[in-house]
Structure 1
Amino acid sequence: HALVRGIPPRAVMAELFGRRDGCSRGMGGSMHLFDAERRFMGGYAIVGETYPVAIGIAYGIAMRALDDVVICFFGDGAVNQGTFHESLNMAALWRLPVLFVCENNRYQIGTEIHRHSAVAEVWKRACAYRITAKKIDGMDVLTVYQASRDALAQIRAGNGPQLIECETYRFRGHSMADPGSYRPKVELKAFEQNDDPLNIAIAETVTRYPTPEELGAAGPDTIQRLAGHLDQGGHVSAEELAVMQREVGEEVDAAVRFAQDSPEPTLADAEAALACNRHGEVLV
């Protein structure tokens, strides 16, 4: 999300390294990336805190009659927070320009959605507030693009907020410390091969489970599916895709080197941050 808003990769990487040249001057880290100049209003370590921030910004947009829309991203693990329903209610009541996007990977950190939610279909909750909502294949970039474009057009036309539930799947654990052992191997392999779990289970009676290395190299993931669309549609060649992949790898390597060479924040930086915007200047 930070990259989409135009934050340079090296500024993002430096922030992840906790360095002074990061977008939050090394004091935000992975949980608090922020860049008001690029209208990226940040991530929050507190689950569900994006909702009220989005509502506040959208209210300001509505008050100034601007043609802008707030896109509020959250995961399935945040939909049981009280602020979710409070914010949906306020957005619907005041017809605020907000697009709520739920990235539902089914496991939040490590608990499958049916174990923590009585209603596993997140999009249905928006219907209680008369908010237009839909569930789409979040693993298909073109589907997400089309659904988002349509929703944004409706919001800008004054038809109130909308919600999109992107049904996704997380191939790896929540973090490097999470082996993801709470998920059946059959399920993981089914999503990687885009096949029915029953078919996979039957096949496994005569074959072996893949190794972790094989699982890590399996697909199709979102990027691979997009590459397939582009190739089949004649938009790019395999050679052009290989060049893009190499260039992205080089850009990531350069960002890591930049972050490693960046200085650490000082006490003066921390004091300056405390004094920043003390008088409530407009950020957006």
Structure 2
Amino acid sequence: MNRVKAKSVQPISLNELDALKKMWEIRIFEETIQELFETGELYGTMHLCIGQEATAVGGAGILKLSDWMVSTHRNHGHCIAKGTDIRSMFAEMLGKKTGTNEGKGGSMHIADLAVGNLGSNGIVGAGFPIAAGAALSAQMQGTDQVVLCYAGDGATNEGSFHEALNLASIWQLPVIYFIENNQYGMSSSIEQMVNIEKLSDRGQSYGIEGITIDGNDLAAVSDTVSRAVQKARNGDGPTLIEALTYRHKGHSKSDKLKYRSEDECRKWQKNNDPIVRLEKKLLQNTALEEAEIRQIELKIRKEMADLVASVKLDHEPTAEDLWTHVYAEDEV
């Protein structure tokens, strides 16, 4: 009689299972808006973060609701991880009144102050001083808030990066600068743009701790960010984190990907997809089965499809709405 050897299992980590669900939400959201663009239902530009889900969930996903986050043009994963409502994000991108910015901001300007999402920015490097200012506010008011600031590898060559890090250092601000090094600044390899091995080494110039991690390993991301957050809360100043990752898609919707080989893309997708890596870990170390994972994915796909169908019925902004949110309405 043949006996099937049982897996040596550990109890499922609810944190890791919840993280997997959140990563699938981000992946499917991105795939959905790509389909909407391809069918002519979504206008403007967009920057997909497929392949970078672990940096979002392991970073913004572990912050307190009261903590602040500053994002980039590649922002959807960060926003979802911080708790911004997905339906409102779909509505914003489809130009509906029910969007996060009432349909007037689009992909690159999603913000949600209710969950500490200070907003995304289409200007490369613009988030660095915004994050420093928010961190200074928290410091001056004596709160325990911290600020997590996302940026891409190319943004570290902007003057705003160096100015913000210098201020954050001399004032010991509660801010974490999180660089998603997805290997390319638009269409240029980061190796051709800098003459250092690690972008995190730039923290040394300002007396800031710099750390380089595997950005596709959820545990590595969450553990590193957790330590940096605690350090900032304790008043011990900023941290510069470089997370090595890879975007599966082009820089933006119109990118033909002529600057990197198909073989390179396949290797990264095969060996370093953050979702696949987390799924393998759960299958090996817990009682979770493949069929259960696929059910999770299918459930999220249906939920996303239902959200889009619902959003399409929402009202669009009126001509009069052009005059709202132009000036501050409250007295100063």
> With structure 1 as the length reference, what TM-score do the two structures score?
0.85
Residue among 150, 159, 169 paired with 1:92: 169
Shift of 1:278: 5.0
Q: Deviations over 1:133-183 (max 9, x none)?
A: 100000111111111111111111221000110000122212232121210
Corresponding residue of 1:50:
127
Corresponding residue of 2:150:
73
Shift of 1:57: 0.7
Shift of 1:4: 1.8
Instruction: Provide the rounded CA distance (Å) in 2 between the counterparts of 1:14 and 1:71.
Output: 26
State yes or no: 1:271 paired with 2:330.
no
Instruction: Provide the rounded CA distance (Å) in 1 between the counterparts of 2:312 and 2:225.
Output: 36
Identity of aligned residues (%): 35
Corresponding residue of 2:6:
none
Equivalences for residues 198-277 of structure 1 within 5 A? 220-234=272-286, 236-277=288-329
Instruction: Provide the rounded CA distance (Å) in 1 between the counterparts of 2:268 and 2:324.
Output: 48
Instruction: Provide the rounded CA distance (Å) in 2 between the counterparts of 1:56 and 1:176.
Output: 32
Instruction: Provide the rounded CA distance (Å) in 2 between the counterparts of 1:235 and 1:22.
Output: 40
Residue among 182, 185, 199 paired with 1:108: 185
Q: Deviations over 1:112-152 (max 9, x none)?
A: 01222233521011111111110000011111111111111
Q: Is the 8 A contact 1:113 1:120 kept in 2?
A: no
Q: Deviations over 1:2-35 (max 9, x none)?
A: 1122221110111111211101111110010011
Equivalences for residues 85-234 of structure 1 within 5 A? 85-119=162-196, 121-194=198-271, 220-234=272-286
What amino acid sits opposite 2:327 in the alignment?
Answer: A
Shift of 1:231: 1.5
Q: Deviations over 1:213-270 (max 9, x none)?
A: xxxxxxx511111111111110532232122101211121122223322221123323
Which stretches of structure 1, 4 residues or longer, exceed 3 Å deviation after superposition? 275-280
Q: Is the 8 A contact 1:75 1:102 kept in 2?
A: yes
Instruction: Provide the rounded CA distance (Å) in 1 between the counterparts of 2:135 and 2:149.
Output: 10
Q: Is the 8 A contact 1:142 1:226 kept in 2?
A: no
Instruction: Provide the rounded CA distance (Å) in 2 between the counterparts of 1:140 and 1:22.
Output: 32
What amino acid sits opposite 2:120 in the alignment?
Answer: G
Structure 1 gaps, min length 5: 195-219
State yes or no: 1:8 paired with 2:85.
yes
What amino acid sits opposite 2:137 in the alignment?
Answer: G
> With structure 2 as the length reference, what TM-score do the two structures score?
0.73
Q: Deviations over 1:171-214 (max 9, x none)?
A: 221223212121023322332333xxxxxxxxxxxxxxxxxxxx
Residue among 115, 137, 160 paired with 1:83: 160
Secondary structure at the aligned position of 1:166 is classed as strand
Secondary structure at the aligned position of 1:55 is classed as helix
Q: Is the 8 A contact 1:135 1:166 kept in 2?
A: yes
What amino acid sits opposite 2:325 in the alignment?
Answer: A
Q: Is the 8 A contact 1:18 1:25 kept in 2?
A: yes
Q: 1:118 to 1:151 in 2, by over 3 A?
A: same
Instruction: Provide the rounded CA distance (Å) in 2 between the counterparts of 1:115 and 1:235.
Output: 45
Instruction: Provide the rounded CA distance (Å) in 2 between the counterparts of 1:269 and 1:276.
Output: 15
Instruction: Provide the rounded CA distance (Å) in 2 between the counterparts of 1:59 and 1:82.
Output: 19
RMSD of aligned Cα (Å): 1.6
Structure 2 gaps, min length 5: 1-77
Shift of 1:75: 0.3
What amino acid sits opposite 2:215 in the alignment?
Answer: G
Q: 1:19 to 1:276 in 2, by over 3 A?
A: farther
Higher mean alpha-carbon deviation, 49-58 vs 264-273, is at 264-273
